[in-house]
Structure 1
Amino acid sequence: MRFIPAFFACLSLATATILENGQARLNPYPGQAVKIPNIADNDPNWKTYPPDAHQISYKGRWCSKYISWWSSPGINFRYAGDDVAITFGEHTSNGVLLAWRISGQPWNFANVTAGDTYQFINKDTPGQKTAVDGQQNTFEFRVTNWALGVQLKRVHVTKGTRIYGIPEFHRKIEMIGDSLTAGYTATYEGISSFAWGLCEGLGNVEFTFTAYSGICLTDKLCWGNPRGQLYQWLQTSDTGFRAQQIYGTNPEPWPFNKHQKADIVVINLGTNDSNQGTETGRVPDAEFQANYIKLIASIHEKYPRAQVIAMQIWQGFYSYGNTYLQNLDGYQAGILAAVDSFKKKDGSNFVHYFNTTGVLQHNDINPLWHPTDTGHIKVAAHLMQFIKLKFNWELGNTGKEVYSHTTYWNDLPDY
């Protein structure tokens, strides 16, 4: 899908309007953190942790400078005491929107800025005093904006208290994709995407979204992205303006050997390759198929035990007489052939085809050619069931909020 440069995205963040059927959402960003004076390391009221503290768990891809990349990266830790504050480094995007929460409480939102300190939690924060039966409080934030990020500089908690590490879940999913996976134009972008709904909905899984708007599978210039996922998924940073400023053409390779390996990898790529409007035009079918096979082989090399799910891309809908039909011109034969190329003689395969035909309908696509929030929820729900039935994964999230601001209902119960 068409790429919107990061510097344009930055301009609109503070005043972005969330639309619900054309009407502005009321109070779309509850829970803003309080900006406070920067905290010295020896401040008598705070205990401070550096970004390399072992108690801090980094989610998604972060580079050696503790800068977040790609879609929906974040951190979490367990804490004691009443106060949690965070100082953000110079490479934090100004006004970037974070989603944050205490334990399993509903999501809150906060815009943060480079070089500043924000207090997220105090004794009066909703959810702070609700723990029962030995429950312990955790703090988590996620970067919602796919083109923006934060640099973690310091974590602060009440003097005399401390933070604790949280063990990783035993299973992990990695999503490799473009704007569709990254949540472009979804209400809260990354945390409103189908990728988010799948992984948070499954529950008890680690996950990484290696997805960026406008990127191709093929390693070529594509809607402003200098490289394709065939190359970029192997790197720590994405293809955006921030990464080009900091790393130029020499990004840090992702240290796969230092991180938990994925058990399932979901690929949703090809929408941009198929678009004639990119800088270098549509990728021919044979070339796309060959590149898809190369990507799967690359994934298998890094994650030898992983199951790979190849999603059929959807190309939107068109009016046909008195109804609507789905455009199926999306490398379907090439993706199927790529999947079959890994089939063993006994018929078994670690690569699986997920057919999206019929999952979405024409009103599940917004005016900017991407899924609505409802569309993302539908794709996530189908993927969850596919994984549950195919790999016998149980659904582990039995109540914690996944998507924020989805409580819609009719308040006229009686006639």
Structure 2
Amino acid sequence: MRFIPAFLACLSLATATILENGQARLNPYPGQAVKIPNIADNDPTWKTYPPDAHQISYKGRWCSKYISWWSSPGINFRYAGDDVAITFGEHTSNGVLLAWRISGQPWNFANVTAGDTYQFINKDTPGQKTAVDGQQNTFEFRVTNWALGVQLKRVHVTKGTRIYGIPEFHRKIEMIGDSLTAGYTATYEGISSFAWGLCEGLGNVEFTFTAYSGICLTDKLCWGNPRGQLYQWLQTSDTGFRAQQIYGTNPEPWPFNKHQKADIVVINLGTNDSNQGTETGRVPDAEFQANYIKLIASIHEKYPRAQVIAMQIWQGFYSYGNTHLQNLDGYQAGILAAVDSFKKKDGGNFVHYFNTTGILQHNDINPLWHPTDTGHIKVAAHLMQFIKLKFNWELGNTGKEVYSHTTYWNDLPDY
């Protein structure tokens, strides 16, 4: 979908006010990490790990410079001791917002900046002393801002203790999309998106969100993005301004052979292709259909055993008499034809169509034409059930928090 240009988005960092129907949210960013002096390698109170330490698990796409890209990338590891601190490198976006937590505790939030060290955990941090069955606690962070990122420079824990690796889950989902998947205008962006709700809600799965606001499926200039997903999903970095500063027009190709292959790939693309307001206008239906087929073929080449889910895009709602109707002019015929083209081939039963019609209503779309938090939750819930019924995947998250700050209730029964 259309989005605010990157230079404006970067002015609105995560220290801004979060509004709930026009009212400021109280304490929207609990758990700010404490900025401390940078830690030397020989510091007597800290044990330091470099970014290439095998115990650190990288989630999402990170380049060889240990810079995060796309939506909701992060790291995790287990640790012993009372203290965890992290030093961020020069390519960290100033003020970028991280969501972080201990094990399955509620999410906390911390703004960090380039070249500084932040202590996230000490002996008094809530949840620190609740590990059970002799297991160490887990530290995890995710970058919430889709246009920003961090560079991991060092990880520090209490001297005399250590960090431990965490094995990958056996299943993985990759989401390829635009602003809808990246969580643009959702309360906490990436970790409020339907992609996040799906994958965290399923639980026990690895996931990557190769999604960026304003990007087209078609490889063309689109809302400031110089390339489309036909090209860019094959690259490590996204199409943003900072990627262009660091890599120019020569991004690092994503080393598919060095990473866990996806079992399911979800495509949610076409909203920007269909928009007349893009730099070169709406992509014709036949061209979009051909490009959709090319993308599925590219995915099948990289992940030959993956199931591909083609999501029908939603185009919002319009007034009709005294009600509202959903706009269905979103390449529906082209996406269906692309799916059917594979089903006609031998062994083409790996492509599936997910019809989103009727999941969202007009009040699930916010004033900037994207889903509200409730809208994202609804899409995630339906897609989760689709995957459960279609592929017999279990719902493995039986307690860990998924969406942050969504515990609302009415305790005034007499009104």
Q: TM-score, normalised by structure 1?
A: 0.98
Q: Which residue of 2 aligns with 1:411?
A: 411
Aligned 1:19-58 pairs, distance under 5 A: 19-58=19-58
- Native 8 Å contact 1:29 1:109 kept in 2: yes
Question: Secondary structure of the residue that 2:10 maps to in structure 1?
Answer: helix
- Native 8 Å contact 2:200 2:402 kept in 1: yes
- Distance, in Å, in 1 between the alignment partners of 2:413 and 2:407 is 16
- Native 8 Å contact 1:10 1:94 kept in 2: no
Per-residue deviation, residues 208-240 of structure 1 (Å, max 9, x unmatched)? 000000000000000000000000000000000
User: How many angstroms does 1:413 deviate by?
Assistant: 4.4
With 331-340 and 346-355 compared, the bigger mean Cα shift is at 346-355
User: How many angstroms does 1:7 deviate by?
Assistant: 3.2
User: How many angstroms does 1:18 deviate by?
Assistant: 1.4
- Distance, in Å, in 2 between the alignment partners of 1:348 and 1:218 is 23
Q: Per the alignment, do residues 146 and 14 of structure 1 end up closer, same or farther by CA in structure 2, a change over 3 Å counting?
A: closer
- Distance, in Å, in 2 between the alignment partners of 1:67 and 1:348 is 37
Q: Which residue of 2 aligns with 1:268?
A: 268
User: How many angstroms does 1:346 deviate by?
Assistant: 7.3
- Native 8 Å contact 1:18 1:187 kept in 2: yes
User: How many angstroms does 1:10 deviate by?
Assistant: 2.4
- Distance, in Å, in 1 between the alignment partners of 2:189 and 2:267 is 18
Question: Secondary structure of the residue that 2:16 maps to in structure 1?
Answer: coil
- Distance, in Å, in 2 between the alignment partners of 1:262 and 1:83 is 34
- Native 8 Å contact 1:5 1:241 kept in 2: no
Q: Which residue of 2 aligns with 1:77?
A: 77
Q: Per the alignment, do residues 347 and 58 of structure 1 end up closer, same or farther by CA in structure 2, a change over 3 Å counting?
A: closer
Per-residue deviation, residues 3-39 of structure 1 (Å, max 9, x unmatched)? 3333322221144221212211110000000000000
Q: Which residue of 1 aligns with 2:309?
A: 309
Question: Secondary structure of the residue that 1:215 maps to in structure 2?
Answer: coil
Q: Per the alignment, do residues 389 and 272 of structure 1 end up closer, same or farther by CA in structure 2, a change over 3 Å counting?
A: same
- Native 8 Å contact 2:15 2:95 kept in 1: no
User: How many angstroms does 1:344 deviate by?
Assistant: 4.3
- Distance, in Å, in 2 between the alignment partners of 1:414 and 1:78 is 48
With 78-87 and 337-346 compared, the bigger mean Cα shift is at 337-346
- Native 8 Å contact 2:67 2:150 kept in 1: yes
- Distance, in Å, in 2 between the alignment partners of 1:46 and 1:371 is 44
Q: Per the alignment, do residues 173 and 14 of structure 1 end up closer, same or farther by CA in structure 2, a change over 3 Å counting?
A: closer
Q: Which residue of 2 aligns with 1:105?
A: 105
Q: Which residue of 2 aligns with 1:157?
A: 157
- Native 8 Å contact 2:18 2:25 kept in 1: yes
Per-residue deviation, residues 124-151 of structure 1 (Å, max 9, x unmatched)? 0000011222232000000000000000
Question: Secondary structure of the residue that 2:209 maps to in structure 1?
Answer: strand
- Distance, in Å, in 1 between the alignment partners of 2:389 and 2:14 is 42
- Native 8 Å contact 1:315 1:328 kept in 2: yes
Per-residue deviation, residues 183-210 of structure 1 (Å, max 9, x unmatched)? 0000000000000000000000000000
Per-residue deviation, residues 368-387 of structure 1 (Å, max 9, x unmatched)? 00000000000000000000
User: How many angstroms does 1:64 deviate by?
Assistant: 0.1
- Distance, in Å, in 2 between the alignment partners of 1:363 and 1:344 is 39
Q: Which residue of 2 aligns with 1:136?
A: 136
Per-residue deviation, residues 84-105 of structure 1 (Å, max 9, x unmatched)? 0000000000000000000000
User: How many angstroms does 1:317 deviate by?
Assistant: 0.3
Q: Per the alignment, do residues 238 and 346 of structure 1 end up closer, same or farther by CA in structure 2, a change over 3 Å counting?
A: closer
Q: TM-score, normalised by structure 2?
A: 0.98
- Distance, in Å, in 1 between the alignment partners of 2:22 and 2:112 is 28
Per-residue deviation, residues 279-303 of structure 1 (Å, max 9, x unmatched)? 0000000000000000000000000
- Native 8 Å contact 1:3 1:224 kept in 2: no
- Native 8 Å contact 2:179 2:214 kept in 1: yes
Q: Per the alignment, do residues 261 and 363 of structure 1 end up closer, same or farther by CA in structure 2, a change over 3 Å counting?
A: same
- Distance, in Å, in 2 between the alignment partners of 1:199 and 1:414 is 39
- Native 8 Å contact 1:181 1:193 kept in 2: yes
Question: Secondary structure of the residue that 1:342 maps to in structure 2?
Answer: helix
Percent identity between the aligned chains?
Answer: 99
User: How many angstroms does 1:345 deviate by?
Assistant: 6.0
Q: Per the alignment, do residues 346 and 222 of structure 1 end up closer, same or farther by CA in structure 2, a change over 3 Å counting?
A: closer
- Distance, in Å, in 2 between the alignment partners of 1:45 and 1:356 is 54
Q: Per the alignment, do residues 14 and 180 of structure 1 end up closer, same or farther by CA in structure 2, a change over 3 Å counting?
A: closer
Question: Secondary structure of the residue that 1:242 maps to in structure 2?
Answer: helix
- Distance, in Å, in 2 between the alignment partners of 1:168 and 1:322 is 52
- Distance, in Å, in 2 between the alignment partners of 1:111 and 1:36 is 14
Over 3 Å off, 4+ runs:
344-348
Unaligned runs of 5+ in 1: none
- Distance, in Å, in 2 between the alignment partners of 1:132 and 1:270 is 46
- Distance, in Å, in 1 between the alignment partners of 2:12 and 2:245 is 21
- Native 8 Å contact 1:128 1:137 kept in 2: yes
- Native 8 Å contact 2:71 2:211 kept in 1: yes
- Native 8 Å contact 2:214 2:225 kept in 1: yes
- Distance, in Å, in 2 between the alignment partners of 1:377 and 1:77 is 28
User: How many angstroms does 1:414 deviate by?
Assistant: 6.4
Unaligned runs of 5+ in 2: none
- Distance, in Å, in 2 between the alignment partners of 1:28 and 1:198 is 23
Over aligned residue pairs, what C-alpha RMSD do you find? 1.1
- Native 8 Å contact 1:55 1:164 kept in 2: yes
- Distance, in Å, in 2 between the alignment partners of 1:87 and 1:38 is 7
The number of residue pairs the alignment matches comes to 415
Question: Secondary structure of the residue that 1:338 maps to in structure 2?
Answer: helix
- Native 8 Å contact 1:359 1:378 kept in 2: yes
- Distance, in Å, in 2 between the alignment partners of 1:365 and 1:140 is 31
- Native 8 Å contact 1:5 1:240 kept in 2: no
